[in-house]
Amino acid sequence: MDAQSLLILDLEKCTRCDQCVKACAEAHDGVTRLLRDGVRFDKYLVATSCRQCRDPLCMVGCPVGSIRRRNSLEVIIEDWCVGCGLCASNCPYGNITVHEFDRDGAGGKYKDAGDHGKVRKATSCDLCHDLEEPSCVYACPHDAAHRVNPTEFFANMLGQDISSALTTSPVEVKR
């Protein structure tokens, strides 16, 4: 499942102003796709937000094939999602949630079963893929929020090159 992109918050910079959460909600129909809570690694908080796994369990079994990759890093949940919640229960990190959205005023975005009433959709961080930088990172005034490649980031933090260590055989390491 190796994560390819983590949303981390530097807790020595973060003033807990929640601009990241509000920006995410603003960018996604009023529903945030990140939670400013999660596991901590030293001074970094790994926020509850999609990690863009290399081998995503959430994609397994989607009945309508709406959760997928478009030949890119980000896992996208397409508009034809039926809100069954299978991907949410498959995600080992609890990074996918199912919400109800109003069809009214959505500009015809949700056409699957009519133009009015509510519709259930799964939501997960899409890295704001059509924008240069994710909204949460862009809106953080304190330079505390970053999307990082965990292998590179934590290797730099620990002062070693983890990727080369992983590809090096034990014998070579001994030498």
Partner 1 sequence: MRIDSTHRPWLWFSIALIAVSTAIYIPYARMTTPAGSTAVGLTFGVIALGFMVFAALLSLRKRYRIMRIGSARVWMKAHLWLGTLALPMVLFHAAFHARGLLAFILMTLTFIVVFSGIYGAYLQHTLPTRMFREVPYETIYDQIGVIQQQLAAEARQHATNVTQMLAPASGAGATVTMTLVEIPEYGTEVAAFDTFFDTRVEPYLQAERKKAIGMDLRHSADAARAFEDYRKLFPPTAWPPITALEDICSEKRQLDHQIRLHHWLHGWLLIHLPISAALFLLAFIHAVVALHY
From CA 121, how far away is CA 173, in angstroms rounded?
Answer: 49
Residues making contact with partner 1 (CB under 8 A): 11-17, 19, 22-23, 26-27, 35-37, 43, 131-133, 135, 137-144
Q: How far is the CB of 142 from partner 1 (least distance, A)?
A: 5
Q: How far is the CB of 148 from partner 1 (least distance, A)?
A: 16
Q: How far is the CB of 74 from partner 1 (least distance, A)?
A: 17
Q: Which is nearer to partner 1, 28 or 86 (CB)?
A: 28
Q: Which is nearer to partner 1, 6 or 144 (CB)?
A: 144
Q: Which is nearer to partner 1, 67 or 140 (CB)?
A: 140
- Exposure string for 45-69, b = 16+ CB within 10 A, e = fewer: bbbbbbbbbeebebbeebeeebbee
Q: Which is nearer to partner 1, 33 or 36 (CB)?
A: 36
Q: Which is nearer to partner 1, 16 or 111 (CB)?
A: 16
Q: How far is the CB of 35 from partner 1 (least distance, A)?
A: 8
Beta-bridged to residue 38, according to DSSP, are: 47
Q: How far is the CB of 54 from partner 1 (least distance, A)?
A: 28
